[in-house]
C-alpha cells in the first residue's frame, strides 16, 4: 500500500529532520542509463520518466545517495542485497524532475544536484537502509556515499531523518503486534457461541467482557 497513515504518524517523531542540505555537484555516471547512459533519445527519455512514475506510485519512501564512484559490479551486488520490493536506479536530474512533477515526491527536486542513485522502497524501509549501510561498510564508502536525503508522503528528510524513520516498526511488524494482541478474541467468540441459545451479538459482547478482565 502506497499510503500509510500509521507510518506517517510514527514518522512525526522524526519531523525535526528536514530537507537535506545542498551539496556540490558531482561527476556524471552511466550506470543504469544514468547521466550518460541509454536514456538519450526522446523515446528513451519518455520511457525512463514513465518507469520512474510507476516506481514512485508504488513506493512508500524514496531516498538518494551519490552515484559517482560506484561501479556497475558494486551496484549489482547492492541490488541483490536489497529487500524484495526495493529498486535502485540512477536517473538524470531533469528526468527525475519530470517524473516527480505533480506527485507527492515533488519536493525532492531540492536534492537534484550531481549524480544521484535513487532507492524506491515499496515497504521495507528499515531493511533497505540497513542493506545500503552494509554496502558502504563492505566497500569502504561510508565517508563518501552517505544517504543524502529522502522523502516520505511529501516531506523531505535529511540523512538523520531517513535513519530515524528506518528504525520505526514496519507496517508488517505493526500488523503482527496488533494481531497478537487480539488473536484470543476469535477463540473466545467460538467458545461462547457454542453455549445453548446463544446469539452472535451476545457472544461477541461476552467475549469482549472476558478480554477486558
In tens digits, what is the pLDDT along the chain, a chain of 213 residues? Answer: 444 433 444 444 444 344 444 444 443 344 544 444 456 788 999 999 999 999 999 999 999 999 999 999 999 999 999 999 999 999 999 999 999 999 999 999 999 999 999 999 998 999 999 999 999 999 999 999 999 999 999 999 999 999 999 998 766 666 666 666 655 555 554 554 455 554 444 544 555 555 555
Q: Hey, how many other C-beta atoms are within 10 angstroms of the C-beta on 168? A: 17
Closest CA to 65 of 110, 9, 13, 117: 117
Q: 197 vs 165, 188, 189, 193, 204, CA distance in Å?
A: 51, 16, 14, 9, 14
In CATH, 5-172 is 3.30.70.1730: yes
Which phi-psi region, left, alpha or beta, contains residue 69 (left: φ > 0; alpha: ψ -120 to 50)? Answer: left
What pTM was computed for the model?
0.67
pLDDT given at position 48: 95
CA separation for the pair 45, 39 (Å, rounded): 5
Domain with CATH 3.30.70.1730 in the chain: 5-172
Amino acid at each position: 500500500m502506497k499510503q500509510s497513515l500509521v507510518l506517517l504518524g510514527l514518522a512525526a517523531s522524526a519531523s525535526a529532520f528536514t530537507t537535506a542540505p545542498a551539496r556540490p555537484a558531482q561527476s556524471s555516471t552511466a550506470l543504469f542509463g544514468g547521466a550518460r547512459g541509454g536514456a538519450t533519445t526522446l523515446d528513451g527519455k519518455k520511457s525512463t520518466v514513465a518507469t520512474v512514475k510507476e516506481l514512485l506510485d508504488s513506493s512508500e519512501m524514496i531516498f538518494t545517495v551519490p552515484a559517482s564512484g560506484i561501479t556497475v559490479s558494486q551496484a549489482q551486488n547492492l541490488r541483490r542485497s536489497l529487500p524484495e520490493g526495493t529498486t535502485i536506479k540512477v536517473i538524470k536530474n531533469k528526468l527525475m524532475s519530470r517524473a516527480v512533477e505533480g506527485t507527492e515526491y515533488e519536493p525532492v527536486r531540492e536534492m537534484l544536484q550531481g549524480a544521484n542513485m535513487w532507492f524506491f522502497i515499496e515497504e521495507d524501509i528499515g531493511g533497505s537502509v540497513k542493506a545500503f549501510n552494509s554496502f558502504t561498510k563492505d566497500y569502504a564508502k561510508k565517508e563518501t556515499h552517505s544517504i543524502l536525503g529522502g522523502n516520505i508522503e511529501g516531506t523531505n528528510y535529511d540523512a538523520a531523518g531517513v535513519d530515524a524513520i528506518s528504525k520505526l516498526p514496519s507496517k508488517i511488524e505493526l500488523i503482527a503486534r496488533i494481531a497478537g494482541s487480539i488473536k484470543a478474541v476469535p477463540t473466545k467468540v467460538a467458545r461462547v457461541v457454542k453455549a445453548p441459545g446463544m446469539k452472535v451479538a451476545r457472544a461477541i459482547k461476552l467475549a469482549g467482557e472476558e478480554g477486558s478482565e
